[in-house]
């Protein structure tokens, strides 16, 4: 099966206006003193960060440092044990459909009996409510979202028939169909080849250009340095947070990873 890259597309349009009537863009995502996890297991404590419309924040840290836990707390998958999370001044958990979450590929059951179109259509359920049957407009939007990621006309294929990188495109298409205010990406480029990676990068850039707030957990430090406006360094607590230019430093990387990363002037390897 040959998949062509998507054609150039205009910027994605932001979701419904929230908290910023003058700009028409969502207000900031603010975490204040957030602790998250399960009481009998891992906890992530004391997280403070502010992400504004169009920001792309890279979450970095060692395995077990809390990157996925923070994303899942924002998505409502893992409970918060303290602190507040707001979007545009309103509690994030009271804004159904505001958050689109792309999980790690290994967390997905790719043998589940669903087509690519079915998966993308789930974004419309998240946005409008699981109790409502999808409308003709929902189905058309799901089809257009697949076109946006270069998979137009292939919606009827079972998700297991796609390569790993193409499966990741399908989940990005689901996020497009949802029209979120916040996009959460958990290791989105793991095992993804360069062609599919570039398609996903294009979607992220267009989300950011539309004022969507993007948070991305990744082990690829070069990815963060090159493509993120902000960096959040985690190791079961907040080590550092701020603009990439001032936060992606040797000192902060050493504090985050300890002796598990080789740090050079101006970057890491």
Predicted local confidence at residue 21, as pLDDT: 36
Is the pLDDT reported for residue 22 higher than 50? no
Reported confidence tier of residue 3, pLDDT bands at 50, 70, 90? very low
Predicted local confidence at residue 260, as pLDDT: 54
Reported confidence tier of residue 72, pLDDT bands at 50, 70, 90? very high
Predicted local confidence at residue 191, as pLDDT: 85
pLDDT tens readout for residues 130-139: 566 888 999 9
Alpha carbon distance 107, 155 (integer Å): 22
3-state secondary structure of 32: strand
pLDDT tens readout for residues 147-198: 999 999 999 999 999 999 999 999 999 999 999 999 999 999 988 999 999 9
Is the pLDDT reported for residue 18 higher than 80? no
Of 70-74, 105-109, 191-195, give the lowest mean pLDDT range: 105-109
Alpha carbon distance 71, 202 (integer Å): 21
Predicted local confidence at residue 205, as pLDDT: 96
> Which residues are within 8 A (CB) of 162 and not within 5 positions of it... i.e. 6 or more apart?
116, 151, 154, 169, 170
Torsion of CA 76, 81, 82, 85, to 10 degrees: 0
Q: Do 141 and 177 meet the contact criterion of CB atoms below 8 Å apart?
A: yes
Is the pLDDT reported for residue 96 higher than 90? no
pLDDT above 90 coverage of the chain, percent: 71
Predicted local confidence at residue 180, as pLDDT: 94
Question: Mean pLDDT, to the nearest integer, of 105-123?
Answer: 87
Predicted local confidence at residue 138, as pLDDT: 92
Alpha carbon distance 55, 213 (integer Å): 5
Question: Mean pLDDT, to the nearest integer, of 221-239?
Answer: 95
Alpha carbon distance 37, 234 (integer Å): 14
| Token duo for residue 222 | 């070069």
Alpha carbon distance 75, 57 (integer Å): 16
Predicted local confidence at residue 66, as pLDDT: 93
> Which residues are within 8 A (CB) of 139 and not within 5 positions of it... i.e. 6 or more apart?
117, 121
Reported confidence tier of residue 16, pLDDT bands at 50, 70, 90? very low
Distance spanning both ends of the chain, measured CA to CA? 36
Element (H, E) at 118: helix 116-128
> What DSSP state is assigned to residue 126?
H
Alpha carbon distance 180, 17 (integer Å): 11
Predicted local confidence at residue 12, as pLDDT: 58
């Amino acid at each position: 099966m040959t998949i062509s890259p998507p054609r150039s597309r205009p910027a994605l349009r932001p979701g419904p206006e929230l908290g910023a009537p003058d700009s028409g863009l969502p207000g900031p995502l603010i975490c204040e003193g957030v602790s998250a996890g399960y009481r009998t297991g891992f906890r992530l404590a004391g997280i403070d960060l502010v992400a504004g419309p169009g920001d792309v924040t890279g979450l970095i840290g060692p395995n077990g440092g809390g990157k996925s836990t923070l994303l899942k707390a924002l998505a409502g998958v893992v409970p918060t044990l303290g602190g507040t999370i707001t979007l545009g001044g309103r509690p994030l958990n009271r804004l159904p459909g505001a958050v689109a979450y792309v999980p790690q590929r290994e967390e997905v059951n790719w043998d589940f009996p669903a087509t690519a179109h079915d998966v993308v259509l789930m974004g419309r359920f998240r946005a409008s409510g699981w109790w409502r049957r999808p409308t003709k407009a929902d189905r058309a939007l799901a089809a257009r979202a697949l076109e946006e990621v270069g998979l137009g006309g292939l919606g009827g294929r079972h998700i297991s028939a796609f390569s790993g990188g193409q499966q990741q495109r399908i989940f990005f298409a689901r996020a497009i169909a949802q029209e979120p205010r916040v996009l959460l990406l958990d290791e989105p480029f793991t095992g993804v080849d360069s062609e599919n990676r570039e398609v996903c990068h294009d979607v992220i850039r267009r989300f950011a250009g539309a004022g969507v707030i993007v948070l991305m957990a990744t082990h690829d430090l070069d990815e963060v340095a090159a493509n993120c406006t902000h960096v959040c360094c985690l190791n079961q607590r907040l080590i550092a947070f701020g603009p990439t230019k001032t936060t992606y430093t040797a000192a902060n990387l050493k504090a985050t990873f300890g002796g598990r990363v080789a740090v050079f002037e101006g970057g890491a390897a």
